[in-house]
Amino acid sequence: MIIRQALSQDATELAAFNISMARETEGVELIPEVITAGVKNMIDNPQMGFYLVVELDNGIQASLMVTTEWSDWRNGMFWWIQSVYVRPQYRRQGLYRELYERVKELAEQESAVCGFRLYVERDNTNAQKTYESLGMTETEYKIFEELTPGLEYRK
């Protein structure tokens, strides 16, 4: 098993992972051109964050994305774990745990990181149990958003 940061040539596969994840967890069909451009943009602009991938059995079998949020309360940076995907045939084999541990290792090298956050779909209880088993706790916060008018990202 190799865990590494994603490269430009991984963008199409990571976009496909995102499409599968959105369909599976939220019943949402993403627009392929938009998500592919979004993945490429992240990889090409590391100041926005990064993807980690798991290479196993001659291919990418799992991935996650990390973005950042400054916390003035803590005078530190939260790393947001997003776009988590593990191919169905590789689930329940510890791939996400390995990714999470790598995120923690990388964060230990960055003195500004004060913690990790992620959001999970309300009904995705399997994922919630996984996150809890790694030591994460549910917060009291709900997430609200307002999208730019005319933004199209799903069919």
Give whichever of 21-30, 31-40, 137-146 has the largest mean pLDDT: 31-40
Q: Does residue 126 lie in a domain region?
A: yes
Q: Does residue 61 lie in a domain region?
A: yes
Q: Does residue 75 lie in a domain region?
A: yes
Residues 85/63, Cβ–Cβ less than 8 Å: yes
Q: Does residue 142 lie in a domain region?
A: no
Q: What is the pLDDT of residue 61?
A: 98
- Mean pLDDT over 40-68 rounds to 96
Tell me: the pLDDT tens digits for 103-143? 999 999 999 999 999 988 888 898 899 999 999 999 998 88
Q: Does residue 148 lie in a domain region?
A: no
Helices (H) and strands (E) in the chain, counts: 4, 5
Q: Does residue 146 lie in a domain region?
A: no
Q: Does residue 149 lie in a domain region?
A: no
State the pTM of this model: 0.91
The CATH number covering residue 55 comes to: 3.40.630.30
Q: In whole angstroms, how far apart are CA 118 and each of 1, 7, 56, 108?
A: 24, 23, 25, 18
**Structural domain boundaries, residue 114:** 2-133
